Amino acid sequence: MKNKVEICGINTSTLPKLSSADTEKMLMDLKNGDLSKRESLIVGNMRLVLSVLHRYVPRVGNLDDIFQIGCVGLVKAIDNFDVTLDVRFSTYAVPMIVGEIRRYLREANGIRVSRGIRDVAYLALTARERLKAEGEEDVGLDKIAERLNMPISKVAFCLDSINEPISLNEPAFSDGEDTTLLMDQISDKTNTEEKWIDNVSLADAISRLEERERKILKKRYFEGKTQTEVSVEIGISQAQVSRLEKNAIGSIRAYFS
């Protein structure tokens, strides 16, 4: 992490390493009421937070804040881990840490997500990990929704709401020379190439009309005025306005035929 060793006053190079066996034993002791193991578990698993922190180095300025939030996720994982499940603690803890950091980043930016939605998303992430721990190979939204007894659409919406916003200027692909941005991959149904060509052709057709015909079309179709109002402004009869308008439209249709 850009050679940063000390985070939040902690020398990360000196953090202890707990083996899986030691972690399991201490978690069991904690479950049985030995609260002295809690702090040792937190310190001994801080390297899990560091491993997650690498993902956010390019996007956040203050790693100390993110590290602290990640530790909150670690503590929640320790307090809520079910020792009866046949799953490694790290498998359960890492998604909890990631989820806590994502929630923090989501709340820290301009997009606000209600507490209820975030809580459902948190439950969905937890349910997914528990289903995996129970041996489910393909854990989809349908199984998560069934476990939570919620509609699939609600689970999908809540999970999507906690995803980090991505800038449209984010690179989607690069071959070393040319970079394709995300905005380049988004389809625009309102400004297709065909419509753009049609608009250019229409502008060219209008430019070929006589000046008075162009003025009438502008006032009628761009300014929304009636033929009577146009006749007063231009100084001709309403019948003449009607005739010139029809001639202009006929010329444009002929241009496209």
CA dist list (Å): 53 to 20, 43, 86, 167, 256: 21, 16, 27, 20, 60
Q: What DSSP string runs through 151-220? A: -HHHHHHHHHHTSPP--TTSEEEE-SS-EEEGGGGS--SSS-HHHHHHHHHHHHHHHTS-HHHHHHHIII
User: d(Cα 257, Cα 254) in Å, to the nearest integer?
Assistant: 5
Q: Which H/E stretch holds residue 36?
A: helix 36-44
pTM summary value: 0.42
pLDDT of residue 188: 58
User: d(Cα 17, Cα 12) in Å, to the nearest integer?
Assistant: 11
pLDDT of residue 62: 66
Size of the chain, expressed as the number of residues it contains: 257
- Tokens representing 72? 């909150």
> What are the counts of helices (DSSP H) followed by strands (DSSP E) for the chain?
12, 4
pLDDT of residue 57: 62
Residue 77: exposure state from Cβ atoms within 10 A (0-12, 13-18, ≥19) = buried
pLDDT of residue 1: 44
In the chain (257 residues long), the average pLDDT of successive 10-residue segments reads 59 77 88 87 86 68 78 89 83 86 69 72 84 83 90 86 65 61 61 60 83 90 86 90 90 82
Q: Give the HSE-up count for residue 38: Cα atoms under 13 Å, Cβ half-sphere.
A: 14
SS3 of 10, please? strand
pLDDT of residue 2: 43
